[in-house]
Structure 1
Amino acid sequence: MTYPYFTGKGGMETVTARVLNYASRNMEIEFLLSGGSDDTNWIKNVNNESGKVVLHNHRSYPGVFLDTFNYIRKTKPDIVITLNNLQIMPIMAAKKLYVPNMKVYAWHHFALRFLKGNNLLKYCDSFLAIASGMKRDLINMGIDEEKIHLIYDPVDRVKVPTPQSKDGEPKHFVYIGRLEAEGQKNVSEIYRILGALKNKNWVFDVYGAGADEQKLRDLSKELGIEDKVNYFGWQKDVWSAIKVADLVFLSSKYEGFPMSVVESVAHGIPCIVTNCPVGPDDIIKEGVNGHLYEIGDIQDAAKTVDGFLDGSVKFGTQKEIQASDDDFYTDAYMKRLFNILREKQ
């Protein structure tokens, strides 16, 4: 597998670690990060016997190109799975010159419509799509549907659901992720939804960090909800830090496959999520594990949350919510993934 570099604190790191750990039962696997990883703590979750993480220090495109090309030339793998368009050219060059029988997969974790270099995807042999929306985008780009495999992203099963608040206690609303007010994460929208319900009995627990934290703090003051918002910073193991949760929010303008949502569902917590490209419409089962609302439709989201607070809007039991994640649990996911890879060898 290849990718230019990781920050070390995202959902891709979580998914990659799970795949590397499962690989020991199936095949030898290495993961090349040509530009390394800013934070390497996630690698501690990788069993060295199952998957090797190779960290280099090339951050420029020429450096990534040459590093990727040389690594493929030296290792001569049977299969390369690239998570990034930038590395398709050096991979295909190495294939043509040194490993003609090598199969190349594209496995992207961001909505394709926002990426550069999609014209290079046509050179790949197969595609691992993490969401139905991504599969549709690939087909619209002219990719043969038979080459596209819808696999989603994996999440581990959780035996004991996260506790919910007791009757009479404030409902705990949660956000997990980067604190970006108006960009991709669009977190200010959650604040405005909750600002419309400022007189209700709730608290908002924010788990994450980012450059816009002060801007969001100022917004909470402007909306009159400053005393209801708690900031816990970025957490290495966020679900150990979360003691109580009733709803998890995601307000993104686009995603790949939002791990904060699928993990929340695995913990038995319903979610209020924007119907953004791509992924949420695969995860959310309306009325069971949450509600999808259109980006910017604060009124619809606030109406649903208000109904949840007064009991007129109900979701499934925690067991029913967890069961709605069945397609995404790691055991089923890994069987799908490695069956696909074996077929192509």
Structure 2
Amino acid sequence: MKLLFVIQDSHGWAGTERVTNLIANGLSDRYEIEVLSLSERPSCEKGYLYKASIVRSYIPIHQGVLGLFSINTKTARHISRGAYDVVVISGVGEIKFLLVAILFCRTKFVAWEHFNAAYTHRRVNRKVAARFCDAIVVLTRADADDWQLYLHPRGHIVRIPNPLATIPRQPSLLTTTRVLALGRLEEQKRFDLLIDAFVLMHAKYPDWTLRIRGTGSKEAELKNRVKELGLENAIEILPAVEDVASEYQVASIYALSSKFEGFPMTLIEAMAFGIPCVSFDCPNGPSEIIAQGEDGFLVPYGDVTALAGALAKLAQEPTLRMQMGRKAREHIKRFDQEHVSALWEDFLAKLCQE
């Protein structure tokens, strides 16, 4: 079987690039894989490492109506010549660059949703995917329900969660007094609510600290809020780092305060390090990852007091932290790369038999 993954930029460092890399590598021993970037080839190698057998190709995007027409023509020609069995569009937003190919190329097209249909279903790209793609791959059961409810796709809706690259040999010792949160400093992540919750927790447990790592448009606003609270020594807002493992190793609680998610990989990664997680029960993902009261806590979205209470409970009870951390590390094995790759293999085999 010959597969083509289409992605905005295979050399990026974000979540979409990471999971595309993991799945492409995981399938490469069985299938002929190519990854097409809708971007210029970089002057130096960067991004996640692909196996040597995987072909990398590039068609850069040009702005404007003529640019859109040009790239549609080029991608259609590329797909026609490649004679792929399946084209996986990694990120539904890229479908606008593949319209000609979808209409005229005789291959199966799969839209791989990395976000949340409840918040994105009004976008034209989702409606196009629902109308023309042969299948939609989503990350959660809730998102599968939302695609059916809002978009009624003609093709199958298949739930395949994102994979965990590895389960680290050495878990966090959970002996520090640090709460960790990772993510873009944008409205969606609602780090302002996490800071408010931490303020309540810190009043009871002043030796605990909060470290937020990320960059984004809310950085100045969040830092000003910390300064106003006089908690510069307790709350750190630092740039994102490539080596996130070093952050997980020295954290004892992981917190997620998002308004919505597609599938929060940071929860899975933290749990792989044996860290109990506290999260808003936002759509979609946390409730399908955290087992409430067993390996972490879910609280209603926006309930700052409940978020603070869950953080405080874990801060107060180190034995509970350890117990939840061990269960988290065990439960997360259902997301290992081998298992998730097998789900993709089964899905692709059935798709090509139709």
Report if TM-score (shorter chain) is over 0.5.
yes
Aligned residue for 2:110? 105
Residues 209-251 of structure 1: per-residue CA shift (max 9 Å, x gap): 2233232121112223221123442211211344411111111
How far 1:38 sits from its partner (Å)? 8.4
Partners of 1:57 and 1:234 lie apart in 2 by: 27
How far 1:312 sits from its partner (Å)? 9.1
How far 1:289 sits from its partner (Å)? 2.1
SS of the equivalent of 1:149 reads: strand
How far 1:324 sits from its partner (Å)? 1.2
Aligned residue for 2:61? 58
Deviates more, 1:301-310 or 1:230-239: 230-239
How far 1:265 sits from its partner (Å)? 1.0
Partners of 1:161 and 1:319 lie apart in 2 by: 12
Deviates more, 1:37-46 or 1:267-276: 37-46
For 1:46, the aligned partner's letter is Y
Q: 2:127 aligns with which of 101, 106, 119?
A: 119
Partners of 2:57 and 2:253 lie apart in 1 by: 38
Partners of 1:304 and 1:207 lie apart in 2 by: 21
Q: 2:272 aligns with which of 266, 278, 289?
A: 266
Residue-pair matches, total: 337
How far 1:20 sits from its partner (Å)? 1.7
Is the CA contact (8 Å cut-off) linking 2:133 and 2:155 kept in structure 1? Answer: no
Partners of 1:334 and 1:259 lie apart in 2 by: 16
Aligned residue for 2:163? 154
How far 1:96 sits from its partner (Å)? 4.2
SS of the equivalent of 2:344 reads: helix
Is the CA contact (8 Å cut-off) linking 2:259 and 2:282 kept in structure 1? Answer: yes
For 2:348, the aligned partner's letter is L
Aligned residue for 1:79? 86
How far 1:323 sits from its partner (Å)? 1.5
Residues 20-76 of structure 1: per-residue CA shift (max 9 Å, x gap): 211221101112221358898654421122x23323321536154334323222222
Residues 258-286 of structure 1: per-residue CA shift (max 9 Å, x gap): 11111111111111112222211111111
Is the CA contact (8 Å cut-off) linking 1:287 and 1:314 kept in structure 2? Answer: no
Is the CA contact (8 Å cut-off) linking 2:134 and 2:155 kept in structure 1? Answer: no
For 1:262, the aligned partner's letter is I
Partners of 1:147 and 1:208 lie apart in 2 by: 36
Aligned-pair identity (%): 23
Q: 1:33 aligns with which of 34, 37, 58?
A: 37
Partners of 1:221 and 1:162 lie apart in 2 by: 33
How far 1:340 sits from its partner (Å)? 1.0
Aligned residue for 1:194? 198
Report the TM-score, using the length of structure 1 for normalisation: 0.88
Partners of 1:317 and 1:85 lie apart in 2 by: 36
Partners of 1:133 and 1:37 lie apart in 2 by: 37
How far 1:339 sits from its partner (Å)? 1.4
**Closer, same or farther in 2 for the Cα pair 1:235/1:142, shift >3 Å?**
closer
Report the TM-score, using the length of structure 2 for normalisation: 0.86
Partners of 2:63 and 2:10 lie apart in 1 by: 14
Partners of 2:133 and 2:29 lie apart in 1 by: 26
